[in-house]
Chain A
């Protein structure tokens, strides 16, 4: 094992933070928010894989495979919803969709 776990975790948390920053900051475009979510999910997968390599147990790798399947399903749904939202208001800016205010 050439890369220590701590390095993997640092890269993963940096990726997660960047993903979160993308989601929070780029709300003018819902597709960019989806990309941010993907980056966060990838950070999680990286953590799983790193942990799996560190302890020599395959569970983490298996779980990251499941996450990939889950993510692709999620993205297909999310993109369908983006198309639908765009049809309704002709925009993808999330701030325009505030009809669920309390």
Chain B
């Protein structure tokens, strides 16, 4: 039964996507919406059934794809705890977001394109997660990138949106190149591209090769998961519709990099250098994202930077070798970040598409349901004790601390500092958007349903900790589930130490909350006044994302444009076009010149003829002499 479930899980969204793309414009709108949602929920149902039927990790080969020469790539799927938990999460979150989209996009005329892309995205993401061979994974990888590009630029009539789409596509492409190189190299080394086989053969290679492979996969993950230094595309990706931001740029696609590294951890875990590089990337990115989120004024950009930061945590977890903790955080993050984005979508819809948080306020009274859900999401993000985010973030920090060594302990402290900042900016958002103010909103019937979608996500975020409770509370379901994974090394830690760590993390989160309360809750009026003034240098630095965009513009884009200008104006126009044009005009001129000779007068021809004959005769006479 398992192969049937998995095949159907993939085929449902593909069917939905193709139907919407090919016939969506001819079908009635309601039918398209219902069909698009039904296919994703069908896919989720298959995932649940597969989970029920699941017993042990299993490779399921559906068909042969390449069999020529040495290269053998079957279309095969790999179901293990990692991919199973991902598929269930993807089906559920994407299903909810599809329902939400129906109401969010009610005014938009391009519903067929929207739902086609959304469904195709689900298909590509499931392919990425389930693919047993790396080329299949790569196809899914590119598929999600492509759908993401089209959805960021969904409202392409505005050039800024189209530019954001292109930026995302080009930036992630840099990572994709690294992935492509890594795949080719893996095939050259091992003669196979099967994930399970490659994972078991890492010990055959010298450490330096594994390190290089690990770095290449890390670069791929940097692009897709918006890690430093390839993170610049994610804040701009908020140009897309809000449900798209929730689904692709928060909950699912951007975690693909983390998933890739977790998937290949048995291979690259053989190199401590690669692991350290992953951990450092994650730690720095987490800090970077959190600091940038502090200064943003756009509601969605705050959430975008918080996504960058949270994915940094996941990378940190993978770098510490803790796949369970990273996946735990990945799942919980998917729930609460989708919740936050969808809540933000409700706020934006209610505020006539105003996104500046300094122009909001008082929504606590007018949108109570959104407020409570958003509060839960923010609490999870901040890691307030006993929410899902608290347990998952703490398990990562614990794993990093236990890894030992100066580097990891420094990263632990950085992570703790980031947690403090995270709590602060999460509640800055809550206080600015929901407290004070007049709370005047624009209501519509769709808004009610959109708010209802938030409830299941809020429950999952709040109680997500139950997935993997710490050992002193009876042990975790996820840890037991992941025990069989080759890299899922369980942490042996005393209960006292674990409790001490969690108390510390909880205190840090509450400190951040208190600081946010004093600064933005009590001092709200003052902050509002400050917001009118010109921002200070530090705020500007953070608001612009540490000026990374400007740096890249200066270091990469300007020289590139100068090069392009040179090649365009000097080489293409100046040399190639000019030589071809010159040849053409030269021949034309010669033709006109010679054409003057053919006057149509018989006499001229005759004289020319006679002169030619005389020349030939003279030449012959000269030869004879």
Contact = CB atoms under 8 A, between A and B. Distances in A.
Interface stretch (B40-48, B52-60, B593-601): B593-601
A95 B599 CA distance: 10
Contacts of B598: 100-102
Given A102-B595, A102-B596, A95 B607 contact: no
Interface stretch (A19-27, A50-58, A74-82): A19-27
Contact of B606 (A24, A97, A101): A24
Looking at B599, B600, B603, B606, the one whose CB has the most chain A CB atoms below 10 A away is B603
B624 interface: no
Contact of A94 (B595, B596, B601, B610): B601
Contacts of B500: none
Nearest to A97: B602
Contact of B603 (A20, A94, A102): A94
A72 to B, nearest CB: 22
Interface string A20-61: 100110010000010000000000000000000000000000
Interface string B602-621: 11001100100000000000
B91 to A, nearest CB: 78
Contacts of A102: 595-600
B606 A98 contact: no
B63 to A, nearest CB: 69
A90 interface: no
B601 A98 contact: yes
Nearest to A94: B602
A15 to B, nearest CB: 15
Given A20-B610, A102-B595, A27 B603 contact: yes
A100 B603 CA distance: 13
B610 A98 contact: no
A100 B605 CA distance: 12
Nearest to B597: A102
Nearest to A26: B603
A98 B599 contact: yes
Contacts of A20: 610
B603 A24 contact: yes
A27 B603 CA distance: 7
A2 interface: no
23 contacts: A20-B610, A23-B606, A24-B603, A24-B606, A24-B607, A24-B610, A27-B602, A33-B602, A94-B601, A94-B602, A94-B603, A95-B602, A95-B603, A97-B600, A97-B602, A98-B599, A100-B598, A100-B600, A101-B599, A101-B601, A102-B595, A102-B596, A102-B598
Q: Which 6 A-B pairs have the closest CB atoms?
A: A101-B600, A102-B598, A98-B600, A102-B595, A100-B600, A94-B602
Interface of A: 20, 23-24, 27, 33, 94-95, 97-102
